[in-house]
Structure 1
Amino acid sequence: MEWVALLMFGAIIVLLLAGFPVAFTLGGTALLFATAGVIGGGFEVAFLTGLPSRLFGIMGNETLIAVPLFVFMGITLERARIAEDLLETLSALFGRLRGGLGIAVTLVGMLLAASTGIVGATVVTMGLLSLPTMLKRGYSPEIAAGTICASGTLGQIIPPSIILVMLGDVMSSAYQQAQLQQGIFSPETVSVGDLFAGALIPGLLLVVLYMLYLFVLAIIKPASMPARPDDDSDVTLARLLSALMPPLILIFAVLGSILGGFATPTEAAGVGAAGGLLIALQRRSLNLVRLQEIMRGTLRVSSMVFLILIGASVFSLVFRGYGGDDAVRELLDHLPGGVFAAVLVVMLLMFLLGFVLDFIEITFVVVPIVAPVLLSMGLDPVWLGIMIAINLQTSFLTPPFGFALFYLRGVAPPEVSTAAIYRGVMPFVAIQLLALLILAAFPDLVTWLPDRIYGN
Structure 2
Amino acid sequence: MTEPQIGILMLGIFILFIFFGFPIAFTLMALGIAFGYFAYWEPGRMWRDYDRAVEAGAEGWDVWIAWLDGFLNNRVFDLFVNQTYSVMSNEVLTAVPLFLFMGYIVERANIVDRLFSTLYIAARRLPGAMAVAALITCALFATATGIVGAVVTLMGLLAFPAMLKARYDTSFASGVICAGGTLGIMIPPSILLIVYAAASGTSIVRLYAGALLPGFLLAGLYLVYIIVRSILQPEKAPKPTDEEVGDVPTGKLVLMIIGSFVPLAVLILAVLGSILFGLATPTEAASAGALGGLALAVGYRALTWDRLREAVYLTMKTTAMVCWLFVGSWVFSSVFSYLGGEHVITNFVTGLDMSPVMFLILAQLIIFLLGWPLEWSEIIIIFVPIFLPLLPHFGIDPLFFGILVALNLQTSFLTPPMAMSAYYLKGIAPPHVQLTQIFRGCMPYLAMVIICMVILYNFEGIVFWLPGVIYG
TM-score if structure 1 supplies the norm length?
Answer: 0.92
Which of the residues 52, 59, 64 maps onto 2:88?
59
1:196 aligns with 2:198: no
Q: What residue in structure 2 maps to residue 370 of structure 1?
A: 387
Cα 1:40–1:440 change in 2 (3 A) is: farther
SS at match of 2:427: helix
Q: What CA deviation, in whole Å up to 9, does each residue of 1:228-274 have, x standing for no partner?
A: 23224436210121111110110111011011110111111011000
Which of the residues 141, 150, 170 maps onto 1:141?
170
Kindly state the Cα deviation for residue 40 of structure 1 after the two structures are TM-superposed: 11
Q: What residue in structure 1 maps to residue 61 of structure 2?
A: none
Superposed, 1:408-419 pairs within 5 Å as 408-419=425-436
Asked if 2 retains the 8 angstrom alpha-carbon contact of 1:77 and 1:280, the reply is: yes
Superposed, 1:106-145 pairs within 5 Å as 106-145=135-174
Asked if 1 retains the 8 angstrom alpha-carbon contact of 2:40 and 2:76, the reply is: no
Q: What CA deviation, in whole Å up to 9, does each residue of 1:368-414 have, x standing for no partner?
A: 12112123422112111100111111222111112212211211212
TM-score if structure 2 supplies the norm length?
Answer: 0.89
Q: What CA deviation, in whole Å up to 9, does each residue of 1:302-347 have, x standing for no partner?
A: 1111111111111111111221111121122122433222222211
Kindly state the Cα deviation for residue 275 of structure 1 after the two structures are TM-superposed: 0.3
1:23 aligns with 2:25: yes
1:231 aligns with 2:248: no
Gaps of at least 5 residues in structure 2 are 44-73
Q: What CA deviation, in whole Å up to 9, does each residue of 1:210-239 have, x standing for no partner?
A: 111111101110111012232244362101
Superposed, 1:431-450 pairs within 5 Å as 431-450=448-467
Q: Which amino acid aligns with 1:360?
A: S
SS at match of 1:310: helix
**Separation in 2 of the partners of 1:10 and 1:107?**
42
The 10-residue stretch of structure 1 (298-307 or 335-344) with the greater mean CA deviation from structure 2? 335-344
1:272 aligns with 2:289: yes
Asked if 2 retains the 8 angstrom alpha-carbon contact of 1:123 and 1:408, the reply is: yes
Q: What residue in structure 1 maps to residue 300 of structure 2?
A: 283
Q: What CA deviation, in whole Å up to 9, does each residue of 1:22-52 have, x standing for no partner?
A: 21111112222333556698xxx65664443
**Separation in 2 of the partners of 1:308 and 1:245?**
37
Asked if 2 retains the 8 angstrom alpha-carbon contact of 1:351 and 1:391, the reply is: yes
**Separation in 1 of the partners of 2:5 and 2:263?**
54
SS at match of 2:94: helix
Asked if 2 retains the 8 angstrom alpha-carbon contact of 1:119 and 1:153, the reply is: yes
Q: How many residues align?
A: 436
Superposed, 1:2-401 pairs within 5 Å as 2-37=4-39, 49-172=78-201, 190-232=202-244, 233=246, 234=248, 236-401=253-418
Kindly state the Cα deviation for residue 428 of structure 1 after the two structures are TM-superposed: 0.4
Of all paired residues, the percent bearing the same amino acid is 41
Asked if 1 retains the 8 angstrom alpha-carbon contact of 2:37 and 2:76, the reply is: no
**Separation in 1 of the partners of 2:15 and 2:280?**
39
Q: Which amino acid aligns with 1:390?
A: L
Cα 1:340–1:97 change in 2 (3 A) is: closer
SS at match of 1:399: coil
Cα 1:40–1:230 change in 2 (3 A) is: farther
The 10-residue stretch of structure 1 (94-103 or 212-221) with the greater mean CA deviation from structure 2? 94-103
Cα 1:294–1:36 change in 2 (3 A) is: same
Cα 1:40–1:144 change in 2 (3 A) is: farther
**Separation in 1 of the partners of 2:395 and 2:220?**
31
SS at match of 1:261: coil
Asked if 2 retains the 8 angstrom alpha-carbon contact of 1:74 and 1:115, the reply is: yes
The 10-residue stretch of structure 1 (428-437 or 323-332) with the greater mean CA deviation from structure 2? 323-332
Asked if 1 retains the 8 angstrom alpha-carbon contact of 2:141 and 2:151, the reply is: yes
Asked if 2 retains the 8 angstrom alpha-carbon contact of 1:398 and 1:426, the reply is: yes
Q: Which amino acid aligns with 1:343?
A: L
Cα 1:393–1:85 change in 2 (3 A) is: same
Q: Select the structure of larger CA radius of gyration.
A: 2
Asked if 2 retains the 8 angstrom alpha-carbon contact of 1:47 and 1:317, the reply is: no
Q: Which amino acid aligns with 1:158?
A: I
Q: What residue in structure 1 maps to residue 422 of structure 2?
A: 405
Q: Which amino acid aligns with 2:261?
A: L
